[in-house]
Amino acid sequence: MGRAEAAWEGRSRILTEFGLAVRSHGGELHGTGAVTPHLHAPGTARLRTSVLAAWTDHLTGLLAARTMAPRVPVTIELDVHLYGPAPAAGEVRGVARVVKAGRSVFVAEAEFAAGGAPLGFGAASFMAAPDPAVRLPERLGVDAPAPAGRLEAPLAERAGCVRREPGTVVLPRSEEGLNSSNTVHGGLLALAAEEAVLSLAPGAAVESLALRYLAAARVGPVVATADLWRGLARAVLRDAGGGDRVAVAATARTSGGRRPPEMGVSTDVAGGSDRRW
């Protein structure tokens, strides 16, 4: 699941290669990231929505860490929605602010802009990690320049996220893709959900992505399965090595692209529920 940390020292290295620089601005956090071809959705010249989900998780998670420290914030829900097509290049700017800082649940939102125009928005909710022994690093990644290392390969390739067949992808557990709780990072789980959906509609873009984090992906690999009908998709991510336990339930809205004709959605609702859950 997503966590708020920055001095990962090897962990979450893949996420740092997204190149997001974060600084404080009063009670807000401002982030700036450059759009590169390696961050594009496959078959398009548009920024992946899962990257915006990861940036939302990072910015709001850092806000949660300010309130919950030294406990580790655990992402419960995360969503991101675009007003229109994502940019192909240039900078994306994000602003995150607190919505609610309660005793048990913390909620924050983020707004994104590109080229001087609104791009979209997102939100996330957090709770403290159940294990009190898990602690945040002393230094969080705020008011620091963007990491020097950038992606040198397409994001899915860098993460090892492989399309097994239309509607199914596999994401390995990698030391470079873990959070401070030693589980698969929520930003990469968002990538797996997005990839499973896009594998059903080559050349499409995800306009909205919502994720419910139900359990940590501790063992791996993570297997994401999705179905898509008339631009609306749902995906389930399971920890295959952890008893095939459901880790994430996700929904997405797509636009454009084409869907392989053999990959229709089952009309057997009960059967579909059994298969997925």
Is 198 a domain residue? yes
- What is the chain's pLDDT, residue by residue, as a tens digit (277 residues)? 343 333 334 446 898 899 899 999 999 999 999 999 999 999 999 999 999 999 999 999 999 999 988 888 999 999 999 999 999 999 999 999 999 998 899 999 999 999 999 999 999 999 988 887 777 776 666 776 777 778 999 999 999 999 999 999 999 999 999 987 789 999 999 999 999 999 999 999 999 999 999 999 999 999 999 999 999 999 999 999 999 999 999 999 999 877 555 444 543 433 343 444 4
Q: Amino acid letter at 101?
A: A
DSSP state of 146: P
Q: What is the pTM of this model?
A: 0.89
Is 136 a domain residue? no
Is 192 a domain residue? yes
Domain coverage including residue 94? 13-131+157-276
pLDDT of residue 260: 57
Report yes or no: 255 and 207 within 8 Å, Cβ to Cβ.
yes
* SS3 of 17-49: CCCCEEEEECCEEEEEEECCHHHECCCCCCECH
Q: What is the CATH number of the domain that holds 46?
A: 2.40.160.210
- Tally of domains within the chain: 1
